Structure 1
């Protein structure tokens, strides 16, 4: 016998509709380039989103069409987060830190029909524009249609699309329709796309807003510093509006973050630890201006207990450490203290908070050994982390690398190695060796190695991540040369800058006689770490 409940589809138009009807007077703040703050209400957002959605529909956007954004965190980007899925389209936020080659590959594979580009990013966009299949470009800047410095004009201005007089809501027909396409760099170094559905993002939003997860309430003012192109800004733009909180979008100018917090009364912020550690001296010097800030959600890389201590003891700001991946929409675990931890010494509490934490509601997690046997939650057994949830992918867009994403019993491989203690707290002790996490970004060592080895002067090479106080990790390359080179660092930097973002380029290039290999001929990463340590100790 089935239940007698309604089958009411879980779609993003419900989030928009709820925020408008129940919290219509709440505000969306955006910091503009000149430091001024643009603000309008959820009601204003609702009207503009519906106008934009109707215009996209009249333009011919249909169910399943991909529409890219090349933009920073702003109210226009937020409008697109809703308007595109509202007509059945799939928003495809592009990582503005990718190289032109990476962007061209992704845009061409996605077959985007329209790309919305921030006017401040036009110069970067011009480097990739000729490498992609011709698509309609819209500049996100009032009615600007022309890139004056290039003497090129486009068909549409952003505000043109908002001139549609229709303000009626458009209903989504199927909760399983795709609503977003987000790319990640996998262990092969190739970008792979994941399509989120309305259902998966709706459920992710409900889970994220639980008190012990993001814990956003109607009384909060939330500032996602994490870019909106990072797995939809960790889903925070949707979670914030569903909760009815004010949202603060910092735009491109991070130099005024302290003043922005003070002017808008931010209570919850989110971003990678690198951002907050860079801001820490300024935060400490301006305690009075940031007194409203009570919680920071960090993710993308681990944060050390000593830094948690500074934020919580010196600034009174709670740190919540989240973990996940693009394939998980992205949130999988969150770390905060349970009731039994309250009596522990501060040092032990900070140590616990540096872990990746417990699965959020709706997520299952396990660790397995190399024979796929599940390991106990004893805090010492180390195994590969595998997950499943209502918002976890089971395949990649166009089947990129799908053969190894899911186990036979339908758990997602993460490539991370971890322990889980009896209370359910996960602590990652290692990760897939081909991925280096730097400033919250993923850098593929394999992609770098392939490019380095492609140079005629290089016989063999490997790239590893070395711990860095500021960035979490930074890449270092070891090379075996085929012929002597006067300045290998300069040569390699010049070689790599053509294909990769600047932050991907290794900080150092060390010439060695050979790359250590293990018994099956694979690169011995542990031995390489020792080589680098010995070189540093001798220098």
Structure 2
């Protein structure tokens, strides 16, 4: 076999920030800080501070392979952790603060974190679980000495003081590109959360795919604000993709309400953003109430859970393109992104919206299969549904510290996502449901997502969930649980009428329950197990 004659340079995340510092040195990184003020600096300055952080970690006795946790919002110091920790051969373990405290303690202990970086916001949370965190050697508060809190936490260190003591340059190790650089735990809706280890190689390849025109489409002329948190799945890879492209980065900190996001979008001339539907619903409602419009936004990526077509339409009416996307913690996370092909130019408005409502087609490097109960591929006709399988260099092969890992490999070599989907001849995937949420009525499957999308299309509905309830005759029947918009007048019959002609009669929900709010997971998805309990009064099995 004849080998290529190319330089054998490993793919390391350090190269991303180095590139940004060298060739986009004066491009800004803007952060709304926990302390309050807006912080501004450049990629060149971030590169120096990431090296200072790497030196500080070495001075604290951290070793290659050590897990270093972060409990922090989207901000410039968190970005420095991504590169300073991962680039020096350790693992940057981002932790979701929206999980239950006992889950956070479990995750820190299971990962065997030796050091933890935290924003000021989470000091009370850590104080509540401190006795369970015996393995931690210290907690670094991501602030300056003037804002250091009084706390009962032991071994509390100041981030800015640590960096001030260190030299500006660090001798980055030449790592194997398969070395772990990041770690994120699943949200743990069933059982304990499970840890996914990202390698330098997978992170680089994922960032390259994210930058492509049919995914985030980033360039050096863009301004990117990731609403999706850096504490979950690397903010969908944006902290790697934006510096790779040389795009300006804007971090929103902890303020994710409609008014605060709009203020940053407009002040910093943001062109691209990404987040879950619940955040965008709040922004759209705020803009409707105030008469505001986004003036520089070009594209918003929406994922985490299915984006209702009405949301895509509402953004389109303001001149903003929605990129519907799909992914999981286990897929780094991007797996599908929805942009039209040339053949779709002549679609009418309804056809265009129907296409945009699908989760998308596979990004380069990731393979997808849809199989039936026996593991046989179903037709790619956009109608036949089955279980979604995925594999590729950005897909996990197992979970950290879990016996008999990899799990989810009922079909050898493929990761089973737990989604029921259809796929058409062009590769566009549409999620029918999660396997655990699909409603099985009289031997037929009813998509809860389809019912929810129709419901939220009603002008008086703010949010809706469709769940199964036991039925003696049919096995299960769908029931809608609905949050009306404030001040709206809405009846059961009003809502059920919108389903006529849009789904088969046997798919129409049997009943509607009105509630003030719906429960969500730590990552913003509808918590179907809790909603089923609300409807049936029985705990989830």
For residues 196-248 of structure 1, the C-alpha deviation after alignment (integer angstroms, 9 at most, x for no partner) is 00001011111111111110110000000001111011111100010000000
Separation of aligned partners in 2, 1:27 and 1:278: 28
Contact 1:138 1:145 in 2 (8 A): no
Q: 1:299 — aligned with what? A: 303
Given the alignment, which residue of 530, 533, 539 partners 1:506? 530
Deviation at 1:110, TM superposition (A): 0.5
For residues 158-179 of structure 1, the C-alpha deviation after alignment (integer angstroms, 9 at most, x for no partner) is 0122120232451332111100
Task: Note if 1:21 corresponds to 2:25.
Answer: no
Contact 1:146 1:153 in 2 (8 A): no
Separation of aligned partners in 1, 2:522 and 2:376: 39
For residues 4-50 of structure 1, the C-alpha deviation after alignment (integer angstroms, 9 at most, x for no partner) is 22221000111011010011111100113576321100011011000
Greater relative contact order, per chain length (Cα 8 Å cut-off, separation 6+): 1
Alignment of 1:271-290 (within 5 A): 271-284=275-288, 290=294
Deviation at 1:506, TM superposition (A): 3.2
Given the alignment, which residue of 342, 346, 359 partners 2:345? 342
Contact 1:147 1:153 in 2 (8 A): no
Task: Note if 1:419 corresponds to 2:422.
Answer: yes
Alignment of 1:54-453 (within 5 A): 54-135=55-136, 136-143=138-145, 147-148=149-150, 150-152=151-153, 154-163=155-164, 164-185=166-187, 188-255=190-257, 256-284=260-288, 290-312=294-316, 314-399=317-402, 402-433=405-436
Deviation at 1:296, TM superposition (A): 0.2
Contact 1:380 1:419 in 2 (8 A): yes
Separation of aligned partners in 1, 2:116 and 2:400: 19
Contact 1:33 1:253 in 2 (8 A): no
Contact 1:261 1:289 in 2 (8 A): no
SS of alignment partner, residue 506 of structure 1: helix
SS of alignment partner, residue 337 of structure 1: coil
Separation of aligned partners in 2, 1:311 and 1:501: 22
Deviation at 1:420, TM superposition (A): 0.5
SS of alignment partner, residue 116 of structure 1: strand
Size of the alignment, in residue pairs?
469
Deviation at 1:309, TM superposition (A): 1.1
Using the size of structure 1 for normalisation, the TM-score is: 0.81
Contact 1:176 1:198 in 2 (8 A): yes
Separation of aligned partners in 2, 1:510 and 1:224: 33
Deviation at 1:389, TM superposition (A): 1.1
From the superposition, tell whether residues 24 and 31 of structure 1 become closer, same or farther in structure 2 (CA, over 3 Å).
Answer: same
From the superposition, tell whether residues 435 and 56 of structure 1 become closer, same or farther in structure 2 (CA, over 3 Å).
Answer: farther
SS of alignment partner, residue 237 of structure 2: helix
From the superposition, tell whether residues 512 and 285 of structure 1 become closer, same or farther in structure 2 (CA, over 3 Å).
Answer: closer
Contact 2:127 2:152 in 1 (8 A): no
In structure 1, list runs of 5 or more residues that go unmatched.
Answer: 437-463, 479-496, 516-521, 524-539
Separation of aligned partners in 2, 1:129 and 1:52: 24
Contact 1:142 1:159 in 2 (8 A): yes
Separation of aligned partners in 1, 2:152 and 2:538: 52
Deviation at 1:67, TM superposition (A): 0.4
Contact 2:109 2:135 in 1 (8 A): no
Q: 1:49 — aligned with what? A: 50
Separation of aligned partners in 2, 1:500 and 1:41: 32
Contact 1:274 1:472 in 2 (8 A): no
Q: 1:4 — aligned with what? A: 5
From the superposition, tell whether residues 53 and 186 of structure 1 become closer, same or farther in structure 2 (CA, over 3 Å).
Answer: same
From the superposition, tell whether residues 240 and 93 of structure 1 become closer, same or farther in structure 2 (CA, over 3 Å).
Answer: same
Contact 1:385 1:414 in 2 (8 A): yes
Contact 1:87 1:172 in 2 (8 A): no
Deviation at 1:130, TM superposition (A): 1.6
Separation of aligned partners in 2, 1:99 and 1:208: 31
Deviation at 1:54, TM superposition (A): 1.0
